[in-house]
């Protein structure tokens, strides 16, 4: 769950000049492990397309065949006091995503959703009180099974939806092409929903813990919509 205005290899170069105050930098290190230099110039290369794909889910720690790096998955669940159809809309309707996406201190300012297999949504969060710049990400859908299951590939992106190498924003521990599985289960008398979010493919345990914290805070905001 992350993003910003920049990118990687060889097409054109986008430059973002920004001042990030020390509280903001500390906050992002705490939540995501992203390391912005105080009053630094951030330079980002621009690439036009997101890369596809995710390996099949096997759960727990796995080995990537090409890199031979051990990978780890995170799982966060929340019980939402709303029917499954409403919980589903929290992930698929722009006006609802705008109300909760992003951890504590962040506001979602963009939710351009194209929820269909082959579609890609663009979301953005920012923390104006921290002086933190806009952070964009894309969700490229591989499964849409309403109202029970969503699967998408998450990438950090620029404002146009072009994929960014996380290392260019000081977040090398965040992998690219993070597969997300969002499962919805009706519970009780059908008036509540168990939401389970799984993110797969982290290679850095510290970054895994930071990302889990950010996700937990975001889902707490989602639950609060219905309380």
Q: Percent of the chain beyond pLDDT 90?
A: 60
Structure confidence at residue 133 (pLDDT): 82
| CATH homologous superfamily, domain 12-48+70-226 | START domain (3.30.530.20)
pLDDT at 74 over 80: yes
Convert the pLDDT of each residue in 113-159 to its tens digit.
999 999 999 999 999 888 888 899 999 999 999 999 999 999 999 99
Q: Using CA atoms, how far apart are residues 143 and 158, in angstroms rounded to an integer?
A: 24
Tell me the CB-side half-sphere exposure of residue 4, using CA atoms within 13 A: 27
Does residue 58 or residue 152 have the better pLDDT? 152
Structure confidence at residue 129 (pLDDT): 85
Structure confidence at residue 128 (pLDDT): 85
Structure confidence at residue 1 (pLDDT): 59
- Give the mean model confidence (pLDDT) for residues 11-24: 34
Convert the pLDDT of each residue in 61-70 to its tens digit.
444 444 456 8
pLDDT at 92 over 50: yes
- Is the pTM for the entire model greater than 0.75? no
């Amino acid at each position: 769950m992350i993003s910003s205005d920049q990118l990687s290899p060889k097409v054109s170069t986008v430059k973002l000049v920004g001042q990030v105050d020390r509280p903001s930098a500390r906050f992002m290190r705490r939540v995501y492990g992203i390391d912005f230099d105080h009053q630094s110039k951030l330079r980002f290369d621009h690439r036009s397309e997101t890369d596809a794909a995710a390996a099949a889910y096997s759960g727990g720690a796995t080995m990537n065949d090409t890199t031979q790096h051990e990978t780890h998955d995170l799982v966060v669940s929340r019980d939402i006091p709303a029917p499954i159809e409403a919980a589903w809309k929290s992930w698929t309707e722009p006006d609802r995503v705008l109300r909760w996406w992003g951890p504590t201190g962040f506001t979602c300012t963009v939710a351009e959703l194209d929820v269909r297999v082959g579609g890609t949504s663009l979301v953005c969060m920012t923390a104006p009180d921290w002086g933190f710049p806009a952070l964009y990400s894309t969700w490229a859908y591989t499964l849409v099974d309403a109202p029970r299951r969503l699967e998408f590939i998450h990438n950090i992106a620029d404002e146009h939806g072009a994929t960014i190498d996380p290392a260019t924003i000081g977040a090398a521990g965040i992998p690219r092409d993070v597969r997300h599985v969002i499962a919805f289960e009706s519970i009780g008398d059908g008036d509540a929903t168990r939401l389970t979010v799984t993110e797969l493919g982290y290679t850095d345990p510290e970054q895994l813990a930071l990302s889990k914290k950010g996700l937990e805070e975001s889902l707490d905001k989602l639950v609060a919509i219905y309380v």
